[in-house]
Chains A and B, each alone.
Chain A
Amino acid sequence: AQSVTQLDSQVPVFEEAPVELRCNYSSSVSVYLFWYVQYPNQGLQLLLKYLSGSTLVKGINGFEAEFNKSQTSFHLRKPSVHISDTAEYFCAVSASNAGKSTFGDGTTLTVKP
């Protein structure tokens, strides 16, 4: 079984500031890792994923994440945020061949002008 812990429930930042949303996971098997963004009353949109290979993963909208196996972390970063990045962000993990994902509780990113 897998579990995901998003360490910050809310992250307020000012526009153009850098941001990091933290995610730790636990699993007894190899996993795939994902970050999703959810805007109000909408489904989830994939930001980026780690399947294998380079531990630094670049996604859409200028986001990137780094997989750290020793620390079982997959933190999401963006060097300069925009007002439009205000949303809910979910970290998710799935076993290598199961398809079913376990989600963290989400982090609300609020970008202030």
Chain B
Amino acid sequence: GAVVSQHPSRVICKSGTSVKIECRSLDFQATTMFWYRQFPKQSLMLMATSNEGSKATYEQGVEKDKFLINHASLTLSTLTVTSAHPEDSSFYICSAISHSDLNSPLHFGNGTRLTVT
């Protein structure tokens, strides 16, 4: 089945530094990838939609300059949390849609636990 790899699985960083999270579709081409944020015991909150070769579409309330998204190829999207602060600590999950079937279910990465100290 379709596999999405997310790296790193855990990261601890100091306040003020930037962190990059990678999301790769391993065996299919993903025109579109989504980035979610999940707080403990809560649902997934869509942050942005990432389309290969174009600018990401951010959801209302998500700071574009803080959460930089790059989707340079059909198999890789990156989320960079810039100047991270403790309130950015969260579980970040990416998902991808197969290029050949926009109506297929999302394939999820295993998430990245970000802790900002």
Contact pick for B102, options A41, A49, A99, A103, CB 8 Å: A99
Q: Judge whether A72 is part of the interface by a CB distance below 8 angstroms.
A: no
Number of interface residues of B (CB under 8 A): 25
Flag if B111 contacts A42 (CB, 8 Å).
yes
Which of B43, B46, B108, B113 counts the most chain A CB atoms within 10 A? B43
Flag if A100 contacts B49 (CB, 8 Å).
yes
Flag if A49 contacts B110 (CB, 8 Å).
no
CA distance A94 to B97 in the complex (A): 12
A–B Cβ pairs within 8 angstroms, 8 of them: A43-B6, A44-B93, A44-B95, A44-B108, A90-B43, A99-B102, A99-B103, A100-B46
- B interface, CB within 8 angstroms of A: 4, 6, 9, 32, 34, 41-44, 46, 49, 91, 93, 95, 97, 102-103, 105-111, 113
11 A-B pairs besides A46-B107, A101-B106 with CB distance below 8 A are A41-B91, A42-B110, A43-B6, A43-B95, A43-B110, A90-B43, A96-B103, A98-B102, A99-B97, A100-B34, A102-B46
